[in-house]
Amino acid sequence: MFYQIWVALLYLYGIILNSIYQCPEHSQLTTLGVDGTELPEVHLGQWYFIAGAAPTKKELATFDPVDNIVFNMAAGSAPMQLHLRATIRMKDGSCVPRKWIYHLTEGSTDLRTEGRPDMKTELFSSSCPGGIMLNETGQGYQRFLLYNRSPYPPKKCVEEFKSLTSCLDSRAFLVTPRNQEPCELSNN
């Protein structure tokens, strides 16, 4: 009798705990368009890097000296290709330009970075208006990155991102300070 009561109490405790600490779900975005050859235009254009999360601080260390980053995603010159340009405003005020080429993976939501065969990028929706979340995995690392169309999304967006990524085993969290003006994106 005592055993059955104990099992019932543990069961009820589990149900209550699960309902209180339930992790929100995230729905994966489709990276391929209707014709299966390109990213939908809604994902193209200018994005601001807002925050990152990872299992350890080491996976976010590359962002420690960063004040802000602005990106532009455009359709590539070849089918199934995206061009990503960025300017990184460092905390010391300097601007660092960067370029990447992503290749869409046919029949998948994965993006592959040219020159980095070990790296995989997946796009996810964000509950934040104008937001998108990326999951980057590579050789020995995984990190989630939050981007937004606005350089200053509502604080609720960052809080939801932190809550979601903590449910996905991310213990380290970083928010870009965005204290300085973003660097101008070059056309080169």
pLDDT score of 19: 45
- Would the pLDDT of 186 be above 80? no
Instruction: Show the CA angle centred on residue 169, arms to residues 7 and 130, nearest 5°.
Output: 120
Residue type, 84: L
pLDDT score of 79: 80
Cα–Cα distance for residue pair 127/146, rounded to 1 Å: 11
Instruction: With 0.75 as the threshold, say if the pTM is over it.
Output: yes
Tokens, residue 32? 């391929």
| Tens-place pLDDT, residues 101-126 | 988 877 776 788 888 888 888 887 77
| Tens-place pLDDT, residues 81-107 | 889 999 999 999 999 999 999 888 777
Q: Work out the pLDDT band at 2, boundaries 50, 70, 90.
A: low
Span 123-134, mean pLDDT? 85
Cα–Cα distance for residue pair 55/58, rounded to 1 Å: 9
- How high is the mean pLDDT of the chain? 81
Pick the closest to residue 139 from 53, 64, 83, 59 (CA basis).
59
Number of neighbours of residue 11 by Cβ within 10 angstroms: 10
**CATH architecture type of domain 45-175:** Beta Barrel (2.40)
pLDDT score of 88: 97
Running DSSP on this structure, what letter comes out for residue 49? E
Cα 72 from chain centre = 15
Cα–Cα distance for residue pair 149/71, rounded to 1 Å: 10
| Tens-place pLDDT, residues 4-60 | 665 555 554 544 444 445 565 544 443 334 344 555 677 889 999 999 999 999 999
